[in-house]
């Protein structure tokens, strides 16, 4: 028996029939969900851009934060991560100023 035949035989023994297909389907499904979630968050970030300045201030953002998040993230990147980071940073500095006053 050649080395190639032995290697093919051991792969067939280690992996049950259909396990590779299930793993492939699971991986593809997770990828599609991830892309869908990213696109959905991008659409929602664009909707946030439509809010007026008072509404943005209520959620701890400025128009500049939204513009930067949309510009810095690519088409398949999630801008909501940048937006949440900006809102947390603004909240931390806003409440720090209130404590000092």
Question: Could you report the per-residue pLDDT of 4-36, keeping only the tens digit for each?
Answer: 555 555 554 555 556 778 899 999 999 999 889
Which single residue is written with the structure tokens 């299930």? Answer: 22
Cα R_g (the chain), whole angstroms: 24
- Residues 3, 61: Cα–Cα separation, whole Å: 63
Q: What does the CA dihedral 70, 74, 75, 78 come to, rounded to 10 degrees?
A: -70
Q: For the segment 30-87, what is each residue's pLDDT rounded down to a tens digit? A: 999 988 998 888 889 889 989 999 999 988 899 999 999 988 887 778 888 889 999 9
Res 20: pLDDT: 77
Task: Give the CA dihedral 10, 16, 17, 21, nearest 10 degrees.
Answer: -110
What is the pTM for the complete model shown? 0.61
């Amino acid at each position: 028996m050649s080395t190639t035949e032995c290697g093919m035989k051991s792969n067939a023994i280690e992996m049950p029939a259909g396990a590779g297909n299930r793993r492939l389907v699971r991986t593809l499904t997770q990828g599609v969900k991830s892309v869908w979630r990213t696109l959905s968050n991008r659409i929602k970030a664009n909707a946030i851009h439509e809010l007026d300045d008072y509404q943005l201030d209520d959620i701890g953002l400025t128009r500049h934060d939204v513009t930067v998040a949309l510009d810095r993230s690519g088409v398949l990147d999630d801008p909501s991560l940048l937006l949440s980071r900006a809102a947390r940073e603004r909240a931390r500095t806003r409440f720090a100023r209130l404590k000092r006053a």
